[in-house]
Amino acid sequence: MKAPFGCKLLGAQQALGGISDGVILFHSVVGCNFGSMAFHFVSCDMTEVRQTCTVISDNEVVFGGEHALEKALSSAEELYHPAVIFVVTGCVSDIIQDDVKRIAAAFERTHGRKVIAVEAAGYRGNFRVGYEAGMKALGMLMEGPQAEKEMSPMPEKGQETKKKVPEKGSEDAEKCKVPQVNILGIGADDPRCASDLEALEELFGGKARICTAFSKTDLAGVRRAPGADLNLVFGYGVELAKDMEKRFGIPYVCLDYPYGLTGARQLWKVLESRFGLNFDAEEAAFQARTAEGAKGIYSYLQALYGLPAAVVGSGARAAGLARFLSAELGMEIEVCAKREALQDIEETYDEVRRSEAAFLFGSSFEQELADELEIPLLRFDFPVFDRICLTKRPYIGAEGTLCLLEDLFCEAFAARTLKGAIYQ
Amino acid sequence: MYSIFYDDLASRLYPSSILHAYGVNGKISGSVGAIGEIGGNVVAVLHAPVGCGYHYRYSARRRHQPFYPLLSTDLTEQEIIFGGEEKLLKTVREAWKRYEPEMVFIIPSPVSDILNEDIRSAAAKLRREGIKVTAIQSELFSHRDKNYSRNRLKEIAKQKITGDTRLEIELKGCGFTEALYAIVEQVMKPQEIISRSVNIETVGWGSEGRLVLREMEAFLNTCGVTVNTWIPSAGVAALEHAPAAQLNLVKRIRWARRMKERFGTDYMQLNGNGRYTGLDGIALFYRDIAEKLCILPEMEEKIEKKTEETRMLAKESLAYLGSKHCVLVCRGISDAPFTLKLFAKEFGVGIGALCVILTEEQRRSLNITKDIEEQLVERIREAAKLYAPQVRILFNPDREQLQNCFAQADAVLGTGDFTLEGCGAPLIPIGTEMTSLSFESWLRNIKRLERRIRNAGRKDALLLNRMPFQEERYADYDSVSARAAREMWQRMWLEKKGE
């Protein structure tokens, strides 16, 4: 089979890599560290190397890797001075049955440093499973709400966890402090992670705030998370959200990635219904900004209208983008494949081959298909290893929508292959 | 048109050198890299969990360009317990049917190695069904032999620079070599020997590689020597036909030895450790080939003629370079003698000072003992006596000493260390490989050096130099986590005992 989806270990890395004062210690072979680091470096930040490895070798396979793990923990503690060490196990340490949890607990006792073990053997799940495991592990660092929350009382046992919603415009609503939300599901190595988070906060218009975005925070941020009023889950992180609902009474909502106005509307709708907020002004501003910003290329936008396209991506992103492309640009989405549901990516490629798609949306790996079909590719899904983003260029929000349009047309222009006569 | 420097850029768009500061790749990437070089329709099946099959497409020693036809056997817990042969057979059969490849290559993984999967037996079974399949065998678990660079340096230290500097050290557990070994064993077939023919190993030639290989071929052709197969950058049929060559020109030894055992093909290693430096070195390279092919008298005239022609074409550049006074900076203590030879003797540049930088970090990671260091330093002194008797040698000069040297120089050569910009003389950055084994390459390098010195300008406001870099490792960014990651790597691998 041609793999449609990444490794469980890399999923865990994506979930844990956003904790800026933590360090990930892979209890695995060199290739796991090198391969995951390669994705991190090219898409994110070459200066931060907050991951390392026990380098399991023949010796550990024969005699066990626990000694190597103890040594690595001591060294990581000494060299990184981390707030927390995440020990992520790979296939080999799992097969040789190292007692990672015992060693982590013993180290935590003797060194007073938080150590969290995350099982991420690639033969026991895919990227999504690893991501969920990593996120769930972050829950172990949470102790309880940090501050009294006027809008989010802890539920009594057996009570519905949905929070009390003041009526729109009522005095109660006015009095309430700004609701806080946690953001789950954005990968730490998404090149647009920081930009999208800022854009997300802008979409809130100051009426709600991000409490903790797990893809860009620190241990204090993780510990602060139970103080939020709502968990917004963009695809992955559902297991942690469920756990936080159970433990802290924080409700959660799963959303598609909020591309375009339609994505923003979905987000606003949730905040409106949960907190009695009103985003009419933000919506009007969004519409005006995108209309003004895109008017200079209206003819190109007309060219997209009715254009067949294919989307291949992880669930929430694929769904959010397909909706944007269809509802806002008027494109015909002939294939929308969600990685989690695929067995063999070649079957999806066949579907795209059979379609009339003239534009492909996917990860950097989909360049293979784009080349074959001689159509442009816009990279929006992990992994993106052949595009960089240094400036604030989100893909969500009004400015993000314009950035996405810029990139979409730039890719279309760059994908030209014709050199000679057009009709020969 | 082919641009050497776009090739270089494409290579650097994968941050391999930085990544290697914190680890090495698993050997799967080497095997995938080798198979990725084979032309035509081939498919690789990685006997591993699904995630490896996804990510190793990118981490494949192919710069930032993935190897797409990589399939996975999708090993799950079921196979960990009961074995994965059935899944391997099924995946290969499906691949054979779906992609109709010329050959399926099976690559092992640490997981299949632990399970002790008998990949070769599975391949034999598949071959009996008519499927063309090659199984790569793991020699070592997970990664290559870590002592290779250290052992090599130890041997180099013992060599006299004027002696026969050829050195043959096998590298075990390199995925690339394992793939070539499998090609020798399972793809190649006995052939009638074609007189005056060579095979050339293609990977590891630096920035100019693709061009230099063609230039080498062109010169060999003028001498009546043909290139039989580019290994492994050829189609399956050409690889099958490789034993027809009289001689292998190789970068890596292990597979070449096996080919000699199996087919009697003689080989010549191209890592001459300075033997082939400069124009005379290139001429010597072709003489070595001629000698191996027993046609030295015939080739000698052509080699001499080409050497002289090349020297004539470089005459003006050489005259210009001869009027310049430069400082040479070397960060590789073992390469320093031949870098000095190249610039001082071959290019005729006046080298006033040779600055050799050897950091504690290098001493530690390469296990350079006092004895080895003394031997290496002695080689540098020997080279200075031979090629630049007036040169002042400075070991680990501080910033002030460097500035003093640079103040009297027209340019700084031998390094790409941009942190030395703005120290008083323009720096001429070197490419990843200064010169290679074609006459044209030597000429290009001379002309480029001349052009760059003529055009040299101040680069004292480099964006790069607004960032902190580690002085002891100039290419490494200076952050707590970068230092920590490097030190972790040192402790967990390089200083690991018992391997």
List of chain B residues with pLDDT < 70: 1, 142, 163, 165-167, 272, 430-435, 497-499
User: A164 falls in which pLDDT band (50, 70, 90)?
Assistant: very low
Q: Does B210 touch chain A (CB under 8 A)?
A: no
SS3 content of chain B, % helix, strand, coil (to 5): 50, 15, 40
Q: Give how far A386 is from chain B: nearest CA, Å.
A: 7
| The pLDDT value given to residue B142 | 66
Which range among A1-5, A395-399, B419-423 has the greatest average pLDDT? A395-399
Average pLDDT, stretch A391-410?
Answer: 97
> Using CB atoms and an 8 Å cut-off, which of residues 60-89 of chain B contact chain A?
64, 66, 68, 70-72, 74-77, 79-80
Q: For strand A51-53 and strand B70-72, is the pairing parallel, antiparallel, or unpaired?
A: unpaired
User: What pLDDT digit, counting tens, does each position of A89-113 carry?
Assistant: 999 999 999 999 999 999 999 999 9
Q: Does A246 touch chain B (CB under 8 A)?
A: no
Residue position matching structure tokens 């290579």: B11
Residues B492/A75, Cβ–Cβ less than 8 Å? yes
Residues B292/B266, Cβ–Cβ less than 8 Å? yes
Domains parsed from chain B with CATH numbers: 13-135 (3.40.50.1980), 152-310 (3.40.50.1980), 315-464 (3.40.50.1980), 467-494 (no CATH)
| Number of other residues whose CB lies within 10 A of the CB of residue A381 | 23
Give B-chain residues touching A48 at CB under 8 angstroms.
Answer: 479, 481-482
The 3-class SS string of B372-407 reads HHHHHHHHHHHHHHHHCCCCEEEECCCHHHHHHHHH
Report CB contact under 8 Å: A46, B18. yes
Q: Give how far A60 is from chain B: nearest CA, Å.
A: 11
Q: How far is C-alpha B94 from the chain's CA centre?
A: 36
Residues A1/A29, Cβ–Cβ less than 8 Å? no
Task: Kindly calculate the radius of gyration of chain A based on its CA atoms and give it in whole angstroms.
Answer: 23
Give A-chain residues touching B57 at CB under 8 angstroms.
Answer: 365
Order of strands, edge to edge, in the sheet holding A308-313?
A332-338, A308-313, A359-362, A377-379
Report CB contact under 8 Å: B54, A7. yes
The H or E element that residue A350 is part of is helix A345-354
What ipTM does the predicted assembly reach?
0.91
User: A184 falls in which pLDDT band (50, 70, 90)?
Assistant: very high
Torsion sign (Cα): B441, B442, B444, B449:
positive
Interface with A, mutate which of B491, B493, B494, B496 (most A CBs under 10 A): B491
Task: Please count the CA atoms within 13 angstroms of the CA of B24 that sit on its side-chain side.
Answer: 20
Average pLDDT, stretch A207-226?
Answer: 97
Residue-wise DSSP of A117-166? EEE--GGG-BHHHHHHHHHHHHHTT--S-SS--TT-PPPPTTS--PPP-P
Residue A230 to residue A234: CA distance in whole angstroms? 13
Domains parsed from chain A with CATH numbers: 8-139 (3.40.50.1980), 172-283 (3.40.50.1980), 294-414 (3.40.50.1980)
The angle at the Cα of A4, spanning A327 to B139, to the nearest 5 degrees, equals 160
User: A217 falls in which pLDDT band (50, 70, 90)?
Assistant: very high
Q: Does B484 touch chain A (CB under 8 A)?
A: yes
pLDDT above 70 (res A342)? yes
Residues B114/A95, Cβ–Cβ less than 8 Å? yes
Q: Does A284 touch chain B (CB under 8 A)?
A: no
* Average pLDDT score over chain A: 91
Q: Is B253 helix (H, G, I), strand (E, B) or coil?
A: coil
Residue A25 to residue A13: CA distance in whole angstroms? 10
Task: Kindly calculate the radius of gyration of chain B based on its CA atoms and give it in whole angstroms.
Answer: 24
User: A288 falls in which pLDDT band (50, 70, 90)?
Assistant: very high
Residues in CB range of B404: below 8 A, 6 or more apart: none
| Number of other residues whose CB lies within 10 A of the CB of residue A419 | 5
Q: Which amino acid is at A413?
A: F
Report CB contact under 8 Å: A80, B70. no
Average pLDDT, stretch A222-232?
Answer: 97
Residue % of chain A over a pLDDT of 70 = 92
| Number of other residues whose CB lies within 10 A of the CB of residue B385 | 10
The residue count of chain B comes to 499
Give B-chain residues touching A364 at CB under 8 angstroms.
Answer: 58, 66
| Number of other residues whose CB lies within 10 A of the CB of residue A96 | 16
The residue count of chain A comes to 424
Residue-wise DSSP of B164-212? --------TT-HHHHHHHHIIIII----PPPTTEEEEE-S---TTHHHH
Give B-chain residues touching A385 at CB under 8 angstroms.
Answer: 58, 64
Average pLDDT, stretch A125-154?
Answer: 78
pLDDT above 50 (res A155)? no
Helix orientation angle between A238-248 and A127-139, rounded to the nearest 10 degrees: 20
Give A-chain residues touching B55 at CB under 8 angstroms.
Answer: 6-7, 10, 35-36, 39
> Using CB atoms and an 8 Å cut-off, which of residues 243-282 of chain B contact chain A?
none
- Nearest CB to B488: which of A6, A75, A383? A75
Q: Does B104 touch chain A (CB under 8 A)?
A: no
Number of helices (H) and strands (E), helices first, in chain B? 22, 14
More confident residue, A157 or A19: A19
- Nearest CB to A122: which of B52, B68, B488? B52
| The pLDDT value given to residue A423 | 80
Q: Does A49 touch chain B (CB under 8 A)?
A: yes
Strand partners, B198: B227, B247
Residue A409 to residue A399: CA distance in whole angstroms? 16
Q: Quick one: which of A148, A153, A120, A149 has its CA closest to A136?
A: A120
User: What pLDDT digit, counting tens, does each position of A37-88 carry?
Assistant: 988 877 668 898 999 999 999 889 999 999 999 999 999 999 999 999 999 9
